[in-house]
Structure 1
Amino acid sequence: MFTAPGAMADAPSHTATPSTVIEKATGTQEILKGSGTVAAEGAQVSLPTRADDPISATKGEDTIKLALPGVGEKEASSTSGTSVFAGRDDSVSTAAQATTDGGFRALFTLEDANAPRRQSFKLTLPEGATIRQTAEGGLVVFDASGKIIGGLETPWAKDANGAPVPTAYQVEGDTVTQTVKTDANAAYPIVADPKWTWGIISGTVYFNKKETAHLASNAGFVAVLFAAAPPPFDAYGILNAANISRVAWNASSDGKCVEVKVPTFLPYEYKGGYCK
């Protein structure tokens, strides 16, 4: 993300297509070209032809689906691989991209100041999976055994000049809502993007008191937790398993909980918030 100097900033083009606006924000290097089902890094990503259908990614036995906040048939596709759909509001459009890491982006564009700032996506996870929010605002998904599957990276939004716009996720049940916090200085259109990535999501993962007690009593569980991370992070997690378990034991004895910084896997005690 960057902020162009105010005196030198280019005025947004009113003739730019929706995909051009989006790709100005995302770049095209990480977009996987193609339509339908495309493959990368051992995963298959299925791009929707209608906004009613979710974008999905499958890797091994795990499938993640995210429904776009849009309606109707695909309106346009870029040669770089961005599919654009109408949003549920006239001043919003939505889009899908498969990414070269085997994940995907589910984007939305606020066309003007009248556009609603909150856009919701239905997230479908494998059976038994759970979701945790990091301190940086991203979302980490664990499978039923406690192993990290992947997650939504820290949310971002950019205005027409490339300036970052504050944004955050809120999770209620199976719905992820991204809110863009604009002010009078924001230049439209504004692009925002939940991005699914397999494996480790950088940030801080918090554990509650029950989970902390589990970590304290079972260093082997900690090793399993991070075994699916890409190298060298899988080794870091396994090597730090005993240390994480030790800090969790101390935290549990102190009536506190443990948090783990990713990808360093350094554990710390904390209290309040999710520590219940």
Structure 2
Amino acid sequence: MNTFTPRTFRTGVLAGTSVLTAAALLATASPALADPTGTEVARAASLVERATGTQDLAPSTAATGSAARAVTATDAGSVTVTAPGDSRGYVEATTGTGARFRIHLPQTKKVDGVRTGAGTIVYQDAAKSADLAVQPTDDGGARALVTLKDSTASDEYRFDLDLPSGSSLTPDGDGGYLITRSGDRGTTVLGSVDAPWAKDADGRPVPTTYRLEGGTLVQTVKTSADTAFPVVADPKVSFGWNIYIKFTKGEVKALNNKVQYADTSTAACALLVNPVAAVGCAGLSLTVIKKIQRVWQYAKDHKRCVELSLTYAGLFADVKHYKC
């Protein structure tokens, strides 16, 4: 699935959503510190990190009024992501220009967040048979996750959204949403909510979808008698000033021949199903195309995913392969 985003948030079963970074504004108690011993919280973080990986987690520190705060340098400046001190708060992302996005965790009982593992903040047993978690990511985004522990956990989780001023959500055609703002110069994409995913304990995909109800993002996870619990689900929200297009291992393999024989930017951009991303892709040089081809071939040979990032001015930013 191609995902068009400038920074990312995710939900999961482990359910989660990503939120924008921002200063810690929550009036909450001091964050709990991670217990270095093998506690239930540490095991909960390990479960989440096994599903998400840890390569893209941003370094974070405890901060007054929040469980963790991460400041990440991006092409457009710094982005600050703050995880709430307790499960009744919100994840907030703020750019250096002051643009801000918030995603509220699902309505639950009040549980303090604990930063542990490789940087995952866990809100243990915040909902019936479910843990919540937040992960700031190194692209200036964050994942807000839900772990469904057994079949008695709810199959639906609601995340209230506070979008940047003047912006709205637009379906991206892949099951996710773009955060867009319209003006005299056309439509600007500020960020995105990736299409959701969910995995069970055996690593098998679990069907999951989003729908919008007003300003609330609702994620439904469809478990069955064959589902191996716990389940981790993850929609990802990105916020920033680049376009991020992600290709799964299957897409990398299926498109490899077309990529290798693409000798113009027009041919390369034809691979992008997202129309906004395709427009931003125009003007790639032959040198950039060759780099994309090298990275793509390596990803195909080693069964990895590919992420292509472009600026909204149509300039190539980067391409990388990653474990997925």
* TM-score higher than 0.5: yes
Asked if the contact 1:74–1:83 (Cα under 8 Å) also holds between the matched residues in 2, the reply is: no
- Paired AA for residue 121 in structure 1: F
> Gapped runs of 5+ residues in structure 1?
1-14, 208-221, 224-228, 238-276
Rounded to whole Å, the distance in 1 between the matches of 2:150 and 2:111 is: 23
Whether the 8 Å CA contact 1:48–1:55 is kept in 2: the answer is yes
Counterpart secondary structure, 2:243: coil
The AA in structure 1 aligned to 2:92 is S
Question: For residue 106 of structure 1, what is the aligned residue in structure 2?
Answer: 144
- CA positional deviation for 1:126: 1.2
Question: Is 1:79 the counterpart of 2:120 in the alignment?
Answer: no
Report the AA paired with residue 46 of structure 2.
T
Partner of 1:235: 314
| 1:53 lines up with 2:132 in the alignment | no
The TM-score, its normalising length taken from structure 1, stands at: 0.67
Which residue of the partner structure matches residue 141 of structure 1?
Answer: 179
SS in 2 for 1:177: strand
Q: Is the 8 A contact 1:141 1:149 kept in 2?
A: yes
Give me the identity figure in percent: 33
Letter in 2 for 1:63: R
* Paired position in structure 2 for 1:194: 235
Matched, 1:163 2:201: no
Aligned pair 1:130/2:168, yes or no? yes
Superposed CA deviations along residues 3-31 of structure 1, whole A, max 9, x for unmatched, are: xxxxxxxxxxxx77211111110011111
Aligned to 1:37: 69
1:120 counterpart SS class: strand
Aligned residues: 205
Cα distance in structure 2, aligned partners of 1:157 and 1:111: 13
3-state SS in 1 of match to 2:229: coil
Secondary structure of the residue that 1:25 maps to in structure 2?
helix
Please tell me whether residue 151 in structure 1 is matched to residue 192 in structure 2. yes
Q: Where does the alignment leave 5 or more consecutive residues of structure 2 unmatched?
A: 1-39, 62-67, 246-271, 281-307, 317-324
Q: 2:103 aligns with which of 55, 66, 75?
A: 66
The structure with higher relative contact order (CA 8 Å, sep 6+) is 2
Task: Give distance in 1, aligned partners of 2:182 and 2:172.
Answer: 19
Query: Quick one: which amino acid aligns to residue 101 of structure 2?
Result: I
Report if aligned partners of 2:60, 2:71 keep a CA contact under 8 Å in 1. Answer: no
Letter in 1 for 2:134: A
**Matched letter for residue 210 of structure 2:** Y
> Alpha carbons of 1:131 and 1:201: their partners in 2 closer, same or farther (altered >3 Å)?
farther
1:87 deviation in Å?
5.4
Please, what is the CA RMSD of the aligned residues?
2.7
Describe the SS at the equivalent of 1:47. strand
The residue that corresponds to 1:21 in the other structure is 47
> Does the residue aligned with 1:140 lie in a helix, a strand or coil?
strand
Matched residues in 2 for 1:106 and 1:151: separation?
14
